[in-house]
Each structure stands twice: as C-alpha cells, then as structure tokens.
Chain A
Amino acid sequence: MLLQSFKALRATRSSLISTPIIQTAGYKTQYLGQKVVKVYQPLPKLREGTPLMKYVKENQYKKLDPNGVKKSLLDKSNPSLLRSGDIVRITYNNKQPPLVGMVIAVKRNGCDSNILLRNSYAKLGVEIRVPIFNPVIERVDILKRPTKYRSRNKLYYIRGTKLDVTDIESSLKKQQRRSN
C-alpha cells in the first residue's frame, strides 16, 4: 500500500519535471572509471520570481487600499498629500464616532504607516496614533491646511507651548462661517 503510493508519487513528480537532468557532475574513481551523478531540475519559481516581501506588501495594498486613496495621501509626489500641521477627520466604518485632530507626525512604513493626531479636550492635550491602512478606517479627510507649514516634519516640540493645539472645533466653525 505504502509502496504503491510511493510509486504513484514518483510518477507524478516525473511528469512535473520535464527535463530531469540539468547537469552531470562527473568524477573518476580508481576502480569504476567515470561516474556520473544525476542533478534534477528545481521546481518552478514561486510568484514568477518576485521577491516575497515585495509580493506580500503589494498584496496588502491591494487588499487594504483597493482604490489607492490612502496610499496617495502618503505619496510625496502627490501635491495634496497629508502633512504635519493639517487638521484631519477620520471616519470609521464601525460604530466608533469620527475623530478630529491636528497631524503632528506622519510615519511612512508601507501598510504599517500611521499618523499622530493631537487635540485638546477641556484644555487637556490628547494624542492618538492612527494606523491609516486599518480596514476599520473608512476615510481620512483633510479639513484645514495651515496658511504656512512649519519647517519641521515632526511637530513634537509644540506640546505644551503657545504653538499647541487649542480648540479645533471653534476654529473650524469660524472657517465655515467665512466660507459661507
């Protein structure tokens, strides 16, 4: 029974490998003369030879961001990219209420990219790190851009200074009134 399965497996293998021998390593022995060792061909390459990490990362982008909207937010060649200093709203597709805050830092790391949002509630500074490729996050909208960006990409130094985030909601309302 086992032997039969052995033979069947060998048969399927030989059909897989069209040209079994790709090289013969020849060497001479004193008594037997020339000896030859068969070298079997490797199995066909997986993923048509693309490196695994490249494949996995591309596949993740396809799965987590099919439209490419989130990826374009981080793309540096995109003029409307997400920058620290922007005020954004994050909408979730579950029952979680939307989140508004100022971007302090953008960390680019493929599908592990995240932004650090800062807001103040009752004059208490609150920060939350948002992984933007998380499937729970439906949309990232830029509500307001600063008139002039600060000369740093990481705005950690604004914490607890006069540059700190104040009442975001009232400033947004002001903006709306002006536009109306």
Chain B
Amino acid sequence: MMGIFNTLKPLIAQRFKAHLTSPGAIPFVETKAAVLFKSPELSRLRKRLLTRPGLIGVKRGMVPFYTNEGLRIPCTVLEIDQVEVTHNKTVANDGYSAVQVGYGFKLKNQTKKMLGHFAKAQVSPKEKVVEFHVKSDDGLLPVGTLLKADHFKVGEFVDLQSISKGKGFAGVMKRWNFHGLKASHGVSKAHRSAGSTGGNQTPGRTLPGKKMAGRMGGHNVTLQNVEVVDVNAEKGYILIKGPVSGATGSYVKIQDAIKRYH
C-alpha cells in the first residue's frame, strides 16, 4: 500500500500545490479601483462642453441685412461692449473649469464684495457677469482679457441663450396651443377652456405634467445653430440671423454651436 502511495506522491504534490505556471502568464496585474458613475469627475468628463468661452451681448433691435445678390436677411443686433474675463474656475479649486465674463460698466449699487472681486481682476465694475463652462483648464483665458465681437466670424453658427418676454398668467390656448372648445353646440362660457384634465376613478388623479393655464414666458430660451451674418469688432456689434427671444435690452449669451463645434 505504501509502495503505491510513494509512487503516486510526486503526482499528487504537483496537483495540489499547483506550482506549474505557463511561461506566458503574467504574475501580477495592477488594476484601477472602480469609480462611481455618478461621481463629479466622471460626470464632468461625460459633459458635452466647448473648448472656449462665449460672449455676453445685449439685444438692441432688428435691422435688415442685404447681401450683394439682393437677398434680404432679417437680423438681430447684439451689442458687445467691454466684455472682459473677470475670473477663472479650475478643476483643482472648484471641481470644474469655467470662465467668468463680465459685460459693460456699472458702478451704482455694486456691493463691496463685487467691487473687491472686480478690483482683484483689475477690471472696471461690470453690469452683468456670467459663467461659461469649458471642457478643461486649457480653455481658460487670462483674467482681464478683452473679448471683442470678432470672437465669432461671419458664417459661423452660434447658440443663443436669453430670457424670453414674460406673458403673465396665460390661458391654455395661448400657452400650449390648445384648440379650446366649440363656439356653439351647447358650449357655455368655456370657449377657451382646456376641457378634461384626466380620467375618472382610474387613475383618480390628474397626472403630473398636465398642460394647464399658468405663468408663460420669462424663462430661459436657447436657440441653436443660428448663423452669424455680420461682425464689427471695432464698433462692437454682431448681426445674428433671425429673431432672438427677449425684449430689447435683455442680455444674450452667445456661444459656439454645440452641435457643430467641440
């Protein structure tokens, strides 16, 4: 019996010790720890952002623009006046990179905090300050840089963001383009009404998001892929094809079109 064991011993030892390794096997691999999908770093990297900041303009009105071929293009005039970089936000400091840009000049009713902020950037006090997220810290501009209207060129496409005109409390026909009820056939004092807002016992409630009457306008509106028709850096204006939401004198954020440029 022992004789058999002795003869099998080396085989058994080989089997259970498992010391035989193939010459191509990698003995040790260093792997990275898993990062949460919803972590701030990953969500920042996932965002579709531009490489450079945009401009702030003020809507001043509309004019026609005639091409040499005789084509008439209705254009919105946006004023670009004293647009300067006031602050930079970095990934190390703030968790994301962004360029803060100020528009115009305003001294009245500035808080001491804001005055200190502008003094630090060595720029005059601004009437409007906005922030443009950029992809990485490479897209940041030195503080105090003067951005002019030739930031964008003729024929380029931009995205415009502004606050639309407030319409007050609007009915359902104006706000959501409902058709209203009939003019006759027994309809009584409900010609501009929404009609039914849901079922009966099932579901027994009005579903969330039901379109109803309420405050209309006065919210952020983004227009995408709008063409730049004319640019004058010296006189400080941009002509944009077509209308821009908001009243004259309202601020408009102008950026490269996100769907065309990265």
- The finding on whether chains A and B are genuine partners in a shared complex, rather than unrelated, reads yes
Instruction: Provide the residues of chain B in CB contact with A60, threshold 8 Å.
Output: 63
B171 shortest CB reach to chain A, Å: 32
Q: What CA separation (Å) do A91 and B114 show in the bound complex?
A: 59
| Contact A57:B68 (CB < 8 A) given known A9-B142, A52-B236 | no
Any chain A CB within 8 A of the CB of B161? Answer: no
- From B11-19, B121-129, B207-215, the one touching the partner chain is B121-129
Residues from 35 to 71 in B contacting A, C-beta threshold 8 Å: 60-61, 63-64, 66, 68-70
Q: What CA separation (Å) do A61 and B124 show in the bound complex?
A: 35
Any chain A CB within 8 A of the CB of B260? Answer: no
Q: What CA separation (Å) do A53 and B79 show in the bound complex?
A: 9
**8 Å CB contact of A56 from B63, B122, B142:** B63
Instruction: Provide the residues of chain A in CB contact with B64, threshold 8 Å.
Output: 111-112, 131, 133
| Contact A9:B70 (CB < 8 A) given known A37-B119, A40-B124, A57-B63 | no
Any chain B CB within 8 A of the CB of A156? Answer: no
Number of interface residues of B (CB under 8 A): 32
Query: What string of 1s and 0s marks CB contacts (under 8 Å) between A1-18 and chain B?
Result: 010011001100110000
| Contact A110:B77 (CB < 8 A) given known A37-B112, A134-B70, A134-B72 | no
Contact in complex: B125, A39 (CB < 8 Å): yes
Contact in complex: B77, A43 (CB < 8 Å): no
**8 Å CB contact of B124 from A5, A14, A41:** A41
Instruction: Provide the residues of chain A in CB contact with B105, threshold 8 Å.
Output: 42-43
Any chain A CB within 8 A of the CB of B163? Answer: no
Contact in complex: A6, B119 (CB < 8 Å): no
Instruction: Provide the residues of chain B in CB contact with A64, threshold 8 Å.
Output: 66
Residues from 107 to 133 in A contacting B, C-beta threshold 8 Å: 110-112, 131, 133
Query: What string of 1s and 0s marks CB contacts (under 8 Å) between B87-116 and chain A?
Result: 000000000000000000101000010011
| Contact A23:B116 (CB < 8 A) given known A39-B125, A43-B146 | no
Instruction: Provide the residues of chain B in CB contact with A47, threshold 8 Å.
Output: 235-236
A87 shortest CB reach to chain B, Å: 23
Instruction: Provide the residues of chain A in CB contact with B124, threshold 8 Å.
Output: 39-43
Instruction: Provide the residues of chain A in CB contact with B236, threshold 8 Å.
Output: 46-47, 52
Contact in complex: B77, A136 (CB < 8 Å): no
Contact in complex: B142, A40 (CB < 8 Å): no
Instruction: Provide the residues of chain A in CB contact with B116, threshold 8 Å.
Output: 37
Contact in complex: B77, A56 (CB < 8 Å): yes
Any chain B CB within 8 A of the CB of A135? Answer: yes
Number of interface residues of A (CB under 8 A): 37
Contact in complex: A135, B142 (CB < 8 Å): no
Instruction: Provide the residues of chain A in CB contact with B107, threshold 8 Å.
Output: 23, 39
Contact in complex: A39, B146 (CB < 8 Å): no
Instruction: Provide the residues of chain A in CB contact with B157, threshold 8 Å.
Output: none
Instruction: Provide the residues of chain A in CB contact with B178, threshold 8 Å.
Output: none
Q: What CA separation (Å) do A63 and B210 show in the bound complex?
A: 53
Instruction: Provide the residues of chain B in CB contact with A25, threshold 8 Å.
Output: 112, 115
Instruction: Provide the residues of chain B in CB contact with A37, threshold 8 Å.
Output: 112, 115-116, 119
Q: Which residue of B lies closest to A14 (CB)?
A: B122
Contact in complex: A55, B235 (CB < 8 Å): yes
Instruction: Provide the residues of chain A in CB contact with B145, threshold 8 Å.
Output: 9
Q: What CA separation (Å) do A6 and B64 show in the bound complex?
A: 41
Q: What CA separation (Å) do A133 and B63 show in the bound complex?
A: 12
Any chain B CB within 8 A of the CB of A31? Answer: no
Instruction: Provide the residues of chain B in CB contact with A10, threshold 8 Å.
Output: 122, 144
Instruction: Provide the residues of chain A in CB contact with B146, threshold 8 Å.
Output: 43
Which residues of A come within 8 Å of B, CB atoms?
Answer: 2, 5-6, 9-10, 13-14, 20, 23, 25, 27, 37-43, 46-47, 52-53, 55-57, 60, 64, 94, 110-112, 131, 133-137
Apart from A2-B142, A53-B61, what are 11 other A-B pairs with CB-CB below 8 Å? A10-B144, A39-B124, A40-B119, A40-B123, A43-B124, A52-B236, A94-B70, A111-B64, A133-B66, A135-B68, A135-B70
Can you name 5 A-B residue pairings with CB atoms under 8 Å?
A10-B122, A53-B60, A134-B70, A135-B70, A136-B70
